[in-house]
Structure formats: structure tokens, C-alpha cells
Amino acid sequence: MSKIACIFPGQGAQYPGMAKEIAEKYKEAMNIFEKANQRLQMDMKQLCFEGDEEELKKTENTQPAILTASIAIFEVLKLSGIKPHVTAGLSLGEYSALVASNSIKFEDAVAVVKKRGKYMQQAVPIGEGTMAAIMGLDKEQVDDCLKIASQYGVVEAANYNCPGQIVIAGHTSAVEKACSLLKEKGARRAMLLPVSAPFHSSLLKPAGERLADILDIIEINDSEIPVVSNVNAQVAKNKYEIKQLLIDQVSSSVLWEDSVRNMISMGVDIFIEVGPGKSLSAFVKKIDKSVTVYNAEDLQSLEGTIANIRER
């Protein structure tokens, strides 16, 4: 029997109009937008459906917007009887995974990620930190160059996305130096990303400390569905462990490739990317071509995925 993993996107997947058609057709999806409006006292429908790219790009808007769109779509999958055996999410997407596994209530998660976005932005002054995507080198080659570049400031691996794609983060000068070293080493690409902070680097530790205070006042439960954590690529079920991993996640590398491999070792043979974009689907295909990957981001892909799963 097939085992399904629902995986949820992180920052960068957002675009104006996300989840609009789905929310207009399914009241269960629209209900999630209403809950976000109420909890945040802001018009989440307007932001996601009609908002401009600049507004959506602000980290404290991006994070609750992607979470809301992802969970709105997940509600429709649930309604159709699709229940994942395991969940995971890239960075911010881990909060969607925890909502899907009934560890954190949606209303609490959307409030937390709005603050998370703000804290992450405030941890490093704009311009002092950045990130870059490195294509075509393995982990050891990247790590060697980071060691040399670290004399220019903090520079660390932020995301291990899939074979041949690693994202680095840190002080702008150190990241730029690392990029030139990595190009010399033979990187196919070493390009700075249009982000406003060095996410998932040790420079974000202050954001994690501030986040801990917020996580203290919301209810976190043991997860009902296994959630694979970004920090260690292992299943986190215990509520105390989940909380600590969310704090650590802000300033730790995202072990996405290892997370996907772990889910496959657990017997997962179908991955459904739930939410805006198709980046995670592309990563999964690069990690293991033998698994089946679907995505659910608009009406066509959502209903196509439901039909495909029912036929299996």
C-alpha cells in the first residue's frame, strides 16, 4: 500500500493570487482565510488574492500568507479523504506541517509566523547579511570553501536542498567571497538571492531566542501524524522536542535532502507538495526519481492530484 507525505513550501514560493480559485470554490479553504483575518486583524484574503508582490515580499507578510494558503489547500485534501502518513515543510513550511499534524492550531501558528518573520528580519540589519544558491558542487566542496571565506565573517550552509543544490548564508562580505571561491572550484552557479536576511545561519540566534517567548504562550501538542524536522531530519512527535526544534530551526541548516530520504526510508512513495510553487517537487525528483510527486497549488493541480490518488 502507498504511503503519502504532504510537504509544505517555505518563503519565496509566494505570488499574488495564490489559493484564490480554491478558496472561492471550497468554503473549507475560505474558512482558513477568515480565521487568519480574525487572528491577525488584517485582510489576508486581500494580501494573498490581490496583494502586490512588494507587499507579499515583506517577510512578516510572506510567512503568514504562505502558511494560510498552504493550510487552506490542505483542508480540501483532507475533505477529499487524503490523509498523509507523514508531513514535513521547508523552513516556514514546517509550521504548516505541524498544523497538518494537529500539533499546533492554525490560529496560533499564523500569529507565531508573523512574529517569526519580524524577528528574523530584525536580527540582522538590512544589507549586512545575505544568502546565495550554489549549484553543481557537493557538500564537502562547499564546506571547504566556507571554511576559507569565514575569515571575512560568518558564512554557513543554510539549506541542503537536493544533490547539487546548497544555499549558503551569513555576512554579505563573507557570502560574496564564498561565491567567488565556489565559482573557482567549479560551481555551475553561485548567485546571491533576493532576500533581506541570512536565514538559517547562526546570525539569526537572537530571533530564535525571541521566538521562544512566543512559543511559550501557545499550546503545542504531541503530533498526531509524524513530522520530520528540518534541524535533524528526524521525526519529532513530542511537544517539548517540537518546541525546541522550532527555536533551533531559525539559526540551523535546513536538512531537506536528508528529510526526504528519511521519509522514503519510512516507506513513503507519494509526495504531495501542498501550497504555492513547485520547488519542493523539483527537489524530491532530484533526490529520488522512483517516487511519485504531485502538487496542489491551484484548482487544476489540486483536483488532478485528488483524482490521481483516488485512482491508485
What pLDDT does 182 receive?
96
Q: Which residue is listed with cell 567571497?
A: 177
Is the CB of residue 138 less than 8 Å from the CB of residue 219?
no
282 pLDDT higher than 80: yes
What pLDDT does 296 receive?
98
DSSP state of 220: B
Q: Which residues are registered as beta bridge partners of 170? A: 130, 155
Fold classified for 129-195: Alpha-Beta Plaits (3.30.70)
Q: Where are the domains of the chain?
A: 4-123+203-311, 129-195
The pTM (predicted TM-score) of the whole model is 0.96
Instruction: Return the closest-CA partner of residue 52 out of 23, 9, 15.
Output: 15
Fold classified for 4-123+203-311: Malonyl-Coenzyme A Acyl Carrier Protein; domain 2 (3.40.366)
55 pLDDT tier (thresholds 50, 70, 90): confident
Summarize pLDDT for 101-114 with one digit per residue, the tens. Answer: 999 999 999 999 99
Catalytic site includes residue 91 = yes
Catalytic site includes residue 150 = no
10 Å Cβ neighbour count for 151? Answer: 9
Instruction: State the catalytic residue, choosing from 70, 91, 229, 279.
Output: 91
Is the CB of residue 252 less than 8 Å from the CB of residue 231?
yes
What pLDDT does 194 receive?
77
What percent of the chain clears pLDDT 70, i.e. is strictly above it? 100
Instruction: State the catalytic residue, choosing from 96, 101, 171, 200.
Output: 200
What pLDDT does 53 receive?
87
